[in-house]
Every structure is written in structure tokens, then in C-alpha cells.
Amino acid sequence: MSEYLFLYRGGKQPQDPAEGQKVMQAWVAWMKSLTDAGKLKDPGQPLEPQGKVVRNAAGTVTDGPYAEAKDLVGGFTLVDAQNLDEACKLASGCPIFDAGGTIEVRPILNMGM
């Protein structure tokens, strides 16, 4: 079993509380399905849209992130999967797609520690 990181990118935000509640219920149901399958390692957290970028060891700090809104990382989740194909299949059930977002699926490098 290997670890994979889901990076959630883009997607439109709900426009009213009822829609927001429906979206939240879909996320909770999807996370529960990952948990029930024994695949959810860490549910992660949503991220605020603002931030800073540290450019170098000298501590140069600039405004960021710079990505277009559709590419902005909005959160993350850590899952266990047999391989990248299985991780992508797990990601395919995510509700972010209903909002026009995407998921970047990245294997976690095993450092042997």
C-alpha cells in the first residue's frame, strides 16, 4: 500500500446556504466512502485563498499564490492505494467535479524512514 496526495484545484463556490449544505453533504458522503473502504489516511483541510510565497533562503517573500483562480489549490487529502491507477479511481468519486474543479493525484515518495 502506498500513500497518495489529492490536491483539490478550482471549482466554483456555492452561492447560497442551501447549495452549500448540499455540497458539504456530498463531501462528507465521499469521505465516508473512503473511510469505509479503509483508504482515507488523513481527511486533510481546506485552504484559505490568500497566502505568501517564500522565494529563497534569504527570506524573500512575495504575495501569492499566483495561480489563476481555476488552478488555485483549495485543499488536500491523503489516501492509501495499491498504485496510482487505484488512487485516480478513488479520486473519481469526488464532488469537486460537480463544481468544475479538478484533483491532482500525487504519489508520496517513500523515504524509508
Which residue would you say has higher pLDDT here, 36 or 69? 36
Amino acid at 3: E
Q: Three cell numbers at 54?
A: 517564500
Query: 80 φ, ψ to 5°?
Result: -105, 135
pLDDT in tens, 81-103: 999 999 999 999 999 999 999 99
pLDDT in tens, 14-43: 899 999 999 999 999 999 999 999 999 999
pLDDT score for 82? 97
Task: Provide the residue ranges of all domains of the chain, joining segments of one domain with +.
Answer: 2-45+71-107
pLDDT in tens, 4-21: 999 999 888 889 999 999
What does the DSSP 8-state code read for residue 12?
A: P
C-beta atoms surrounding 105 within 10 Å = 19
Superfamily of domain 2-45+71-107: Dimeric alpha+beta barrel (3.30.70.1060)
Q: Three cell numbers at 87?
A: 488512487
Give Cβ neighbours of residue 75 (< 8 Å, ≥ 6 apart): 7, 8, 44, 45, 46, 47
pLDDT score for 48? 85
Question: Would you say 70 and 9 are in contact if contact means Cβ atoms under 8 Å apart?
Answer: yes
